[in-house]
A and B are shown apart, each in its own frame.
Chain A
Amino acid sequence: MKNRMSVWERRLSHGLCLLEDAMKKPVFRCQSCGECILSHTAFICSQRCPKRMRNGPCGGTREGGFCEVYPERKCIWTLIARRSALLRRSVLLLRIERAHDWELEKTSAWLNVFRKRIEPPVLLMGKKKRHELEREN
């Protein structure tokens, strides 16, 4: 049904994953979902959420913006919402992120962009791009 990964692609992905993890894990605490939306979420990894929410916070955020599951941690989505407003990237949060493709889990997001399995990141957020996205929503 879907175009599955070939063996060579898996090998390449595995190699790239090591490199990607080495860069993304220390900086973003990347969870290697393989379907990176860091650029939509103000460069905070949404997959650190215990429920792996990709479209915003669940209903359980505690007073002061703390996580329902781990009350000693901040809800990752309160951080994302705040930083998105700060960087004027909030419009990116209005998009409905599709259901995660778990087949891409632990594969290289870079390769997945290159192979057109996922969308390329929105790195720069110029006026033009913002208007485009605002129209889209």
Chain B
Amino acid sequence: MNLREKIESGRFVITAEIGPPVGAGAEPLHKKAVHFRGVDAVNITDNQTAIVRMSSIACARILLEQGIEPVIQVTCRDRNRIAIQSDLLGAWALGIQNVLCLTGDFQTFGNHPESRGVFDLDSIQLAAAVRGMNEGRLMSGDEIKDPPRFFIGAAANPFAEPFDFRIERLGKKMKAGAGFIQTQPVFDIDHFRRWMEGLRSRGFHKRAAILAGIMPVKSAKALAHMEKEVPGMRIPGELFDRMEKAADPKEEGVRIAIETIRDLRSLEGLAGFHLMPLMWESITPRLLQESGLRSS
């Protein structure tokens, strides 16, 4: 069963995330991939935070060869609609079936701040374009003889203003074709519950699978870094206290992640989790086991 079939059959799914290597060797990817045996699919970021890395599609193909189902992330920052559509046709031909549609981090945050941002499309228009391709036509209206059949995903940030309109906007993403939604890492559980309530009151949880983001952090410093460097993050003060007071901050970070998973596991309308163990891929099997998400 692939990710689409699992989600459509109502199974609780776990996705995770890999950042591609900054280099032309596949070895680091092979090493990271070993830790993700227990998850249903793995996202491959597309030059995240605008830092040049190996192409998402190339990495996806490498993972596929290792028996891992990839989700390619596609951002609108670096490519216009011509390049994106062309890449997607190629991705399908390589056996890639899942696409996460993103607008993309602004280029000034990365290692080439002097570069030109494209932003020809936004994430919603991109999702609509992929759906059009699935239906056999390019954005121009031209017919695709051998169309792809991508499973379309999108991202959501429950923790940034304007809160209400963001929920409505998520509805637009679903209308544009998104079948699964991965959220930013959840640190503020109460806020996330309220957000889910907003989704449920509009029936959005039935239109797409909502996967809550989980990010284990290694130290209070890492947490502070996240809050400062990643725009739109919301981290409650008590979490900082816990991390600072902990004798073993790494252990505390894992514990917080596991608690979050257990807390949200039975939340009505939640269809799964999206794990983001950035720079800490090896912790994934432990997270899965100790949280009770995977038994063996």
Contacts and interface: CB of A to CB of B under 8 A. Distances in A.
A69 interface: yes
Nearest to A2: B140
A59 B124 contact: no
A55 B162 contact: no
Contact of B162 (A82, A98, A102): A82
B176 interface: yes
A69 B106 CA distance: 7
Report which residue of B108, B124, B164, B176 has the largest number of chain A beta carbons within 10 angstroms of its beta carbon: B124
Contacts of A98: 125
B232 A53 contact: no
Given A75-B161, A93-B165, A59 B103 contact: yes
A82 B171 CA distance: 18
Contacts of B105: 60, 68
A65 interface: yes
Given A68-B232, A96-B175, A99-B139, A52 B119 contact: yes
Contact of A57 (B121, B125, B155, B162): B162
Sorting the interface of chain A by its residue count into under 10, 10 to 19, 20 to 34 or 35 or more gives 35 or more
B166 A60 contact: no
A54 B117 CA distance: 16
Given A69-B106, A75-B161, A98-B125, A57 B166 contact: yes
Given A51-B106, A81-B164, A82-B162, A60 B171 contact: no
B172 A56 contact: yes
Contacts of B160: 57, 59-63
B194 interface: no
B124 A61 contact: no
Interface string A1-32: 10000000000000000000000000000000
Sorting the interface of chain B by its residue count into under 10, 10 to 19, 20 to 34 or 35 or more gives 35 or more
Interface in A41-60: 50-60
Interface string A88-117: 001001101111101000000000000000
Interface string B167-203: 0110110011000000010000000000000000000
B165 A96 contact: no
B157 interface: yes
A61 B232 contact: yes
Given A56-B172, A60-B160, A51 B122 contact: yes
Given A77-B165, A94-B168, A96-B175, A60 B122 contact: no
Contacts of A68: 105-106, 231-232
B15 to A, nearest CB: 17
A103 to B, nearest CB: 12
A1 B162 contact: no
B114 to A, nearest CB: 14
B140 A94 contact: no
Contacts of B18: none
Contacts of B156: 59
Interface of B: 81, 103-106, 108, 117, 119-125, 128-129, 139-140, 155-157, 160-162, 164-166, 168-169, 171-172, 175-176, 184, 231-232, 234
28 contacts: A1-B140, A51-B104, A51-B117, A52-B122, A53-B119, A54-B122, A55-B122, A55-B123, A55-B125, A56-B124, A56-B169, A57-B165, A58-B103, A59-B103, A59-B184, A61-B162, A61-B232, A63-B160, A63-B234, A64-B161, A68-B106, A68-B231, A96-B125, A96-B128, A97-B125, A99-B81, A99-B121, A102-B120
Nearest first, the 10 A-B pairs at minimum CB distance are A81-B162, A60-B231, A81-B165, A56-B169, A59-B157, A68-B231, A61-B160, A65-B161, A99-B125, A55-B124
